[in-house]
Structure 1
Amino acid sequence: MAMGHALGPMGWDRMSSTIPLIRRWPFTHMVSSLEDMGINSGRLLTRNNIPEWQYGDAEEMVPIFDFLRGFECGARAIGSEEFGLLLAKRFGVSEFGSYGAAITASKTVFEAMRTACQLASKEATTARYWLIPQSDGYNFCRKQLFVTPETDHGLRQLEQYSLELMVNIVRLGAGPDWQPTTVFLSTLRNRFPTKQRQFNPEATRYESPHSAIFVPAAVLGLPIRKKAPDSRFCDMSMLEASRVDEDICDAVMEFLRSSLLIDSRNLTTLATVAEAAGMSKRTLQRRLAQKGSSVHRLYDEVKYRKAMELIDDPAIKIADIAASTGYEHSQHFINAFRRWTGLTPGQYRKTATVETGH
């Protein structure tokens, strides 16, 4: 089997200017797991000022810092430093949204690993996976690009979670009992859970520049054991076309769109966006200004696009569109719509009716 060259981590230099985001579905998994463990997730999130990102389209992007804080709070709530590991063990790769669907559609273990590497930045904008050839196999590597002291606890949980995901990808062909013979961890030995170690201590190397598991050559060509795909995640076009990891304006708009969906009454401010981005307000303002934009301008664009999605459906009342786009009063929405289009919503609908003949 021809396995080609090493698949390296692409686009690392872009991450300093963007907002860290992750697909919504891991957050949903986290919340459902907490509930199954007897934890009132709504109360836990509210108490720790974490938005309830579990609601909405699983493929939407949400701030990764809220996900990391959720990991930290979840670990505290269940009294275990292994919350990330427990979460990863509860869900199969096929349940990992479009990302998981793409991986499980692979023919071999090597192809599944390669797909995971190619699409990782579309799944979480600060994650990079890559393959390094060895004499008798490949190192399946991972690195988290955005690291701050404030998120250290959550990042340790994320490392457990991600490494178990990597192992589970190999197990798609190698079987449920497969374990890596060598594991590389970026964390210190005393910072990894000790009650139930995720991997054999004798096979684990600490303080590595990145996390990795070794996958022997004998495993790489094994066929993936097919399961019926989840029809909700069979269309890969949105995942593959996503470019939120490349542009600060795109990333901020994705965050603002998710904020609007979760609570249209939420008044998203420069401060809330900067917090989600892990930047100071001044830094965020400067980076957006370099692109000729601002949080206010991007939020206005998000509201405009949402309004245009709804306005063509005559069954939706203007007042409901106003509420869905974050306007408490219909007149404020009408004023904004006139600014966007030069017409009131009513005039726009009449024009559209004339043009279409319906």
Structure 2
Amino acid sequence: MTDLIRSASLTHYAEIARSVGIDPKAMLKQARLPLHCLENPDLRIAVAGVRRLLEDSAKASGAEEFGLRLAERGGFSTLGPVALVVREQATVGAAIEALARYIHIQDEAMRLEIDRRDDLVTIAMFLRGGHQRATRQSTELALGRVHRIIAMLFPEQWRPLEVHFAHAPPRRRTYHRKFFGCEVTFNSEFDAIVCHATDMNRAISTAQPMLASYVESRIREIGPRPEAWDDKVRELVRALLPGGNCTIETIAEHLGCDRRTIHRRLRECSTTFSAILDAERSDIAMRLVEDGNRPLKEIAELLGFSAQSALARWFRGRFGCSITGWRGGNRQRTVAAAARW
């Protein structure tokens, strides 16, 4: 199982890395993460790679609180579409429940559970892989961002009653106390934030529940994250094709493995990387070519071809006619040819 996370999780990573004296590009290479993941927040990268990056960064810089430094700079922007439904809920409690429902869209390996007992609410966080694989830094980044999201829902300063981490304490706890605004318990049985039940009833003055309902209906359409390897590769191909960097090596970087693993996993799914790439190119090509005003040079770039001539050769081999022929009214014939190909 390769869990993926939106590269938005690394928003502000480069500046935090530089502020503690390390080279962000060198650290990304060491963690075997693609350098371009810092430029596009919607790309999917391996959770294991992000965990490795955070732990290596903390070790190289000596900043035990590296994950919290990154969490401190984050906010709703790191959640992508999930932020839209969270911040438009009527109450803080409803917002956190929405976050728990849709956090898998941001991070496939993360789960939140909300436990209400008497006048206390516990927001417990679970990272797939358990404490053996979820590192200190990734745990503190994830729970730190949950804390920051809650705090941003209040017009005034907010602080929880307690914060718990299952891992051992750092040498110095000053940064942790300042970040959370309360005592932090380490070597606990769980990773969680504990707060007053009344905090969850607080109304969000800027909320628009009607908008939240609409956005939530659209987010539901995203559905569960793909689990099968061919679906994960297909999703990455769609995202990477327009950038002209859709190679099997790049896909392997995003999935945190090597090209041999990709070939083997796709064989188990009865397909190949070339077949997936060609199918996705064909689907996108048909939509782009329908637009008679779109230049062929632009189409070639969006489909990942280095030259317009390469696009022309591929199109004729795939659809049995030229792009001009397709635009000239041979669509039905060429679609039938593509189906037989």
Quickly name the TM-score band, shorter chain normalised: 0.7 to 0.9
Amino acid paired to 2:79: F
Name the structure 2 match of 1:145. Answer: 128
Q: CA deviation at 1:21?
A: 1.9
Checking the alignment, whether the CA contact within 8 Å between 1:62 and 1:255 is kept in structure 2 is no
The runs of 5 or more residues in structure 2 that have no matched partner are: 333-341
Equivalent residue of 1:346, what SS? helix
Task: Give the partner amino acid of 2:199.
Answer: V
The 3 A distance-change label for structure 1 pair 166 and 297 is: same
CA contact 1:122–1:245 (8 Å) conserved in 2: no
Correspondence for 2:237 among 256, 277, 300: 256
The alignment's C-alpha RMSD in Å is 3.8
TM-score, normalized by length of structure 1? 0.74
2:175 alignment partner, one of 196, 204, 216: 196
- Residue of structure 2 in register with 1:160 after alignment: 140
Aligned residue number for residue 7 of structure 1: none
Match of 1:82 in 2: 65
CA contact (8 A) 1:121 1:245 kept: no
Alignment match of 2:97 (pick from 114, 137, 159): 114
Amino acid at match of 1:124: D
Bigger mean CA deviation after superposition, 75-84 or 247-256: 75-84
Note the 1:44-193 alignment, pairs <5 A.
Answer: 45=28, 50-56=34-40, 58-72=41-55, 74-75=57-58, 79-93=62-76, 96-146=79-129, 155-174=135-154, 176-189=156-169
Aligned length, in residue pairs = 326
CA shift, 1:38, in A, is 8.2
AA aligned to 1:349 is R
CA positional deviation for 1:141: 1.6
Q: C-alpha separation between the residues in 1 aligned to 2:76 and 2:194?
A: 19
Question: How far does residue 189 in structure 1 lie from its aligned partner after superposition?
Answer: 3.3
Q: Deviations over 1:90-119 (max 9, x none)?
A: 233366322222211111111011000000
- The corresponding residue for 2:303 is 325
Deviation (angstroms), 1:142: 1.4
In structure 2, distance between residues paired with 1:205 and 1:71: 19
**Contact preservation (8 Å) 1:125, 1:245:** no
Displacement, 1:249?
2.4
| Structure 2 partner of 1:3 | none
CA 1:34–1:189 in 2, change beyond 3 Å: closer, same or farther? closer
Identity of aligned residues (%): 22
The one-letter amino acid paired with 2:99 is: A
Q: CA 1:221–1:351 in structure 2 vs 1: closer, same or farther (change >3 Å)?
A: same
Query: Which residue identity lines up with residue 158 of structure 1 in the other structure?
Result: S
TM-score, scaled to structure 2:
0.77
- SS of the aligned residue for 1:141 comes to strand
Contact preservation (8 Å) 1:256, 1:268: no
Task: Output the CA distance in 2 between the equivalents of 1:148 and 1:274.
Answer: 25
Q: Deviations over 1:74-97 (max 9, x none)?
A: 546754222221222223336632
Contact kept? 1:20, 1:146, Cα under 8 Å: no
1:197 alignment partner AA = H
Of the structure 1 ranges 279-288 and 216-225, higher mean CA displacement relative to structure 2 is found in 279-288
Say if 2:20 is the partner of 1:24: no
**1:306 alignment partner in structure 2:** 284
Q: Tell me: CA distance 1:328–1:281, structure 2 relative to 1, closer, same or farther (3 Å).
A: closer
Aligned residue among 320, 325, 329 for 1:342:
320
- Distance in 1 separating the partners of 2:139 and 2:322: 51
After superposition, residues 213-228 of structure 1 pair within 5 angstroms as: 213-226=193-206
The CA deviation at 1:205 is 4.2
Which secondary structure state, in structure 1, belongs to the residue aligned with residue 11 of structure 2? helix
Question: In 2, distance between residues paired with 1:265 and 1:284?
Answer: 17
Q: For the residues of structure 1 that align with 2:165 and 2:308, how far apart are their CA atoms?
A: 54
Q: Does 1:267 align with 2:247?
A: yes
What is the DSSP-based 3-state SS (H/G/I as helix, E as strand, rest coil) of the residue aligned with 1:142? Answer: strand
Q: CA contact under 8 A between 2:74 and 2:145: conserved in structure 1?
A: no
Task: Give the corresponding residue for 1:13.
Answer: none
Amino acid at match of 2:98: T
- How far residue 65 of structure 1 moved from its aligned partner, in angstroms, is 4.1
Segment of structure 1 superposing worse, 334-343 or 106-115: 334-343
| CA distance in structure 2 between the aligned counterparts of 1:305 and 1:29, rounded to whole angstroms | 35
